[in-house]
Amino acid sequence: MEIGKYNLDLEHQGYIMGILNVTPDSFSDGSRYQTLDAALSQAERMIGEGAAIIDIGGESTRPGHEKITDQEEIERVVPVIEAVKRQFDVPVSLDTYKYEVAKAGLSAGADLINDIWGLKWDGRLAPLIAESGAACCLMHNRKQMDYKDYLLDFMDDMRETLRIADDAGIKQEKIMLDPGVGFAFAKTYEQNLSIIKHLDLLKEFGLPVLLGTSRKSVIGTALDLPVDEREEGTVATTVMGRMKGATIFRVHDVKKNYRAMKMAEAILAAE
């Protein structure tokens, strides 16, 4: 898959996407990387530990998060995108579902738009991505947990997202999918576990799959642990996800997840 000038072999090997939140209220690392120097230092550390993509976000998506204006989000992310692109040779993902923010981020050099609403929030976003030629990660989400048959409805929702992408002219080879693990993304604890278990359902679409579970409440609930003690649980989901066919893992703790992913790949490659 081409992400900007970079070609990632998402069919045969896994990659780590390092999370760089430049927000004051992220559920796990709020305010830690708000200054440009701190953000660049964290990006450098994650790249050194094995991150192949840096995902920059300017608005928290934790349950109950405070929405901010487009302009405020732009002011948070654009300087960081520009600085990371200037200082490091790495693809940059912008975590946003907003048209104006995506437009500014792409102009600043973002290579990938990571949309938590799967193109369903703003009808202008899909044509923008198509016109730019950027890669995109399209996540499962919905406003209400009103499923009749969870897994069947999940797959229908993903088909709708892909129809929107196709109608806008986004090329299939520019799309990766994200199952949207998280209570904030209209899933109960049990449904989050279920979609991780059944991640291979997404193979139907023949597209790369990104798994983002890092430090999330599903891990905290399963292990009865606070947010700063969920590294091992995250690693377990990375290994499970790689065995189920996911090839991108969006995480905070790059080193441990990178090593676990490579170990899983070694086992998968064995005779």
Greatest Cα pair distance, the chain, in angstroms, is 53
- Residue 79 CA: distances (Å) to CA of 61, 71, 185: 21, 13, 28
From the candidates 120, 230, 242, 250, which is the catalytic residue? 250
Distance, CA of 186 to CA of 94 (rounded, Å): 22
From the candidates 98, 120, 216, 230, which is the catalytic residue? 216
- Residue 195 CA: distances (Å) to CA of 61, 104, 117, 142, 152: 19, 33, 17, 15, 11
Phi, psi torsion values for 235, nearest 5 degrees: -60, -40
* 66-75, Cβ contacts within 8 angstroms, sequence gap of 24 or more: 66/25, 70/98, 70/100, 70/101, 71/100, 73/98, 73/101, 74/100, 74/101, 74/104, 74/105
Angle ∠(254,106,165) on CA atoms, nearest 5: 90
Which residues, in sequence order, are bridge partners of residue 181?
Answer: none
Nearest to 23 by CA among 102, 113, 108, 95: 95
Which residue's structure tokens are 């193979």? 203
- Catalytic, 216? Answer yes
Q: Which residues are catalytic?
A: 216, 250
